[in-house]
Chain A
Amino acid sequence: MSQSLSVPTSRQRTAAGQAAMSDRWFSILLVVPAMVVILVFALLPLAYALDVSFRFADLTRGRIGDFVGLDNYRTVLHDKAFWDSAWVTVKFTLSAVFLEMVLGIAIAFLIHGATVGKGVIRSLMILPLATSAAVTGLFWRYLYDTQFGLINYFLGLIGLPEPNWLGDYTIALWSVILFDVWQWTPFVALIALAGLQALPKEPFEAAELDGASTFRILRTLTFPMLKPVLFLVLVLRTIDSVRLYDAVAVLTRGGPGTVTETMTFYLYRTGLKLFRMDYASTMAIFFLYAMLVASLFALRPLLTQFSSRASEG
């Protein structure tokens, strides 16, 4: 194929410049609606929260008060309850995400290997995801009930102790974790299953012909090829778990005491129960900052992988 090089005339250059200019304005025009939505629904509230975080804002006094500099940040950063809630959030996130990933991947492998009923199982797995956590949380509150709950009924039938799932401070957090695992394991399983089904068959057939063991195939083929999908699910579930609010609000309201009080629930309690919007806004800014830094680190390997793939392509 031959290519000819020609020097553009000044008129052609002007026309090309105008076309490029119009393309540029057209692309800006396409982005504007999304930017307006982001500005109105994300950036303006953020700017307002930032403003409130530098003011005295006890709503029981009736108005947003004077500028107090960094005092709210000092108070929040030295607030033991805030750090306790952060620790509860970390414990919840690590435990729930770990269990969801392990169980989800295991279920995905089981469904992938099943010969009949795949469609039915997949449809059933969507049910917990399709229902709001506020609704399923109420069901689980009745399941956990010490007097009328089904869980304690069956435990009693087989002669096991019947714990106070939501009232005992040693197991209340685990009860919330169990609920979250029940609700979100299908999400991990469905995404992992989609990843498994999208894998090419040839490398696996070649490995089987070469006599590779199942463990070796898993270690050297399946998991490395599934890694991007699993990593994405891990990041999504971690971000969602850190934001946990609805399950706590419906099941325990942060109790007994504050053993299940996550950062978001503490923030809600400070802002909308104690009416200290200044501390609540400060916590929200701190929370946003922590999430930004965490996602920057978490997404780095994924973005590197995407960019290296793009340059290879």
Chain B
Amino acid sequence: MSFSQGWDTGFRVVLIYVGIVFVWLGLVEPYFASQSLSVIVMNIVAVAVSAAFVVRARRRFTDERLAAEAEVAALMQEDA
């Protein structure tokens, strides 16, 4: 993952994390009896979703890189 890809992914992860916090506090937390338990579960969910996003992004970037390398290799083979 290059610096710009990491930066972009990091920014989106922050947005996802904050978004989950807002949605949780607004819609999900009223169903919890204990506020502290709700915050713990919220952070677990937010970390899990963010981590899943990073893994998915990393896989996508790797696939894109492999596809580009294959394309270059095919072009070089054509030239040779």
Contact = CB atoms under 8 A, between A and B. Distances in A.
Given A293-B15, A296-B15, A77 B22 contact: yes
Contacts of A293: 15, 19
Contacts of A70: 21, 25, 39
A292 B12 CA distance: 10
B19 A289 contact: yes
A201 interface: no
Contacts of A69: 39
Interface in B2-61: 12, 15, 18-19, 21-22, 25-26, 29, 39
A69 B36 CA distance: 11
A204 interface: no
B39 A78 contact: no
Given A70-B39, A296-B15, A286 B29 contact: no
A244 B18 CA distance: 25
B19 A74 contact: no
Interface string A272-300: 00000000000000100100110010000
A153 interface: no
B18 to A, nearest CB: 6
Nearest to A69: B39
B15 A73 contact: no
Contacts of A74: 25, 29
A292 B15 CA distance: 8
Contacts of A73: 21-22, 25
Contacts of B18: 289
Contacts of A292: 15
B73 to A, nearest CB: 19
A70 B18 CA distance: 12
A93 B1 CA distance: 39
A253 to B, nearest CB: 28
B7 to A, nearest CB: 14
Nearest to A288: B18
23 contacts: A69-B39, A70-B21, A70-B25, A70-B39, A73-B21, A73-B22, A73-B25, A74-B25, A74-B29, A77-B22, A77-B25, A77-B26, A78-B26, A286-B22, A289-B15, A289-B18, A289-B19, A289-B22, A292-B15, A293-B15, A293-B19, A296-B12, A296-B15
Interface of B: 12, 15, 18-19, 21-22, 25-26, 29, 39
Given A73-B25, A289-B15, A289-B19, 9 more contacts: A70-B25, A70-B39, A73-B22, A78-B26, A286-B22, A289-B22, A292-B15, A293-B15, A296-B12
